[in-house]
């Protein structure tokens, strides 16, 4: 029996805003927690106040990594400079490889009601940073929901669970797992995650115990090596389990560009300014 993964760091989410004034809580990609290889950033947005989100994320570039948008409530429309557009609906996911570069907008398709979801940034290894952009998009009904003992449910968005549910998103270069887990108070969730992957949790509702720590909502949990991820719910709780193989390369990160060297960042800025995206 493998050991339980310990907590190596708890990261309290930081309220901030991005895009055109969209209010969100950043649990990864903050001063305190700059990245957790291969993951760069995780934003949680959750508000019923339209003024907190209607501005959306107008045209902006990305190069060198992937963005994963998962909507719990509300709908987001995206459109990019290649003419591609689509809608991420409630419960749906978009896994976008920016690769060598895209310019896109991400705008709420609603002017009232609650908008709730997440955006994760996943780094790409050097050999894929300048690859062609691409999308994987799935609606809620193609994401399997697994029911476990104690009323625990696991939505498999990317990767395969230990009980065999297969997420529709291919985990890409880092062989990612992305599971959305709901636990009733008192329930326990346990999942083997092999040591080849770095694993983190993002608790977004309620309060749980992970190893020796109590973890409240809007907190990131970086897990150490071990094998099994174990979470016990103190109250009804919801969290994401995100895992992937570390890339172990130098990271030069400048706004929406994440490359390996300073020269590549300068190139990205020049390419963007010259309209080469
Ligand atoms: Fe974006």
Ligand 1 centroid vs 38 CA: distance in angstroms? Answer: 18
Ligand 1 centroid vs 186 CA: distance in angstroms? Answer: 38
Ligand 1 centroid vs 263 CA: distance in angstroms? Answer: 23
3-class DSSP assignment, residue 126: helix
CA angle 49–29–190, rounded 5-degree value? 90
Print pLDDT tens along the chain (277 aa). Answer: 579 999 999 999 999 999 999 999 999 999 889 999 999 999 999 999 999 999 999 999 999 999 999 999 999 999 999 999 999 999 999 999 999 999 999 999 999 999 999 999 999 999 999 999 999 999 999 999 999 999 999 999 999 999 999 999 987 899 999 999 999 999 999 999 999 999 999 999 999 999 999 999 999 999 999 889 999 999 999 999 999 999 999 999 999 999 999 999 999 999 999 999 9
Ligand 1 centroid vs 123 CA: distance in angstroms? Answer: 14
115 within 8 A of 45, measured Cβ to Cβ: yes
State the sign of the Cα–Cα–Cα–Cα dihedral 159, 251, 100, 67: positive
Ligand 1 centroid vs 62 CA: distance in angstroms? Answer: 7
Ligand 1 centroid vs 234 CA: distance in angstroms? Answer: 35
Domain count, the chain: 1
Q: For residue 84, what is the domain's CATH number? A: 2.60.120.10
How many other CB atoms are found less than 10 A from the CB of residue 6?
A: 14
Q: Is there a domain that residue 2 lies in?
A: no
Q: Is there a domain that residue 197 lies in?
A: yes
| Cβ-count burial 112-151 (b if 16+ within 10 Å, e if not) | eeebbbbbbbbbbeeebbbeebeebbbeeeebbebebeee
State the residue range of the domain holding 115: 7-273
Q: Is there a domain that residue 1 lies in?
A: no
CA separation for the pair 58, 76 (Å, rounded): 12
121 within 8 A of 244, measured Cβ to Cβ: no
Ligand 1 centroid vs 104 CA: distance in angstroms? Answer: 6
Q: Is there a domain that residue 67 lies in?
A: yes
How many other CB atoms are found less than 10 A from the CB of residue 3?
A: 11
Which run of H or of E encompasses 88?
strand 85-88
The whole model's pTM is what? 0.97
Q: Is there a domain that residue 173 lies in?
A: yes
Q: Is there a domain that residue 162 lies in?
A: yes
């Amino acid at each position: 029996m493998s050991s339980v993964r310990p907590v190596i760091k708890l990261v309290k989410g930081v309220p901030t805003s991005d895009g055109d004034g969209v209010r969100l809580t950043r649990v990864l990609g903050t001063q305190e927690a700059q990245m957790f290889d291969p993951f760069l950033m995780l934003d949680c947005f959750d508000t019923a106040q339209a003024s907190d989100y209607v501005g959306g994320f107008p045209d902006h570039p990305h190069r060198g990594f992937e963005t994963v948008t998962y909507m719990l409530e509300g709908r987001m429309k995206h459109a990019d400079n290649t003419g591609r557009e689509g809608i991420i609906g409630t419960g749906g996911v978009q896994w976008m490889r920016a690769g060598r570069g895209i310019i896109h907008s991400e705008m709420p398709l609603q002017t009232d009601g609650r908008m709730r979801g997440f955006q994760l940034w996943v780094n790409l290894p050097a050999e894929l940073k300048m690859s062609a952009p691409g999308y994987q998009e799935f609606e809620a009904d193609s994401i399997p929901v697994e029911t476990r003992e104690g009323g625990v449910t696991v939505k498999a968005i990317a990767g395969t669970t230990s009980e065999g549910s297969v997420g529709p998103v291919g985990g890409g270069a880092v062989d990612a797992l992305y599971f959305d887990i709901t636990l009733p108070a008192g329930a326990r969730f346990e999942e083997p995650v092999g040591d080849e992957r770095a694993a983190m949790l993002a608790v977004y509702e309620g309060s749980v115990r992970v190893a020796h720590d109590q973890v409240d909502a809007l907190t990131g949990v970086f897990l150490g090596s071990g094998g099994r991820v174990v979470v016990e719910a103190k109250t009804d709780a919801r969290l994401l389990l995100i895992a992937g193989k570390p890339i172990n390369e130098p990271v030069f990160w400048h706004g929406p560009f994440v490359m390996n060297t300073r020269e590549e960042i300068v190139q990205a800025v020049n390419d963007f300014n010259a309209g080469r995206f």
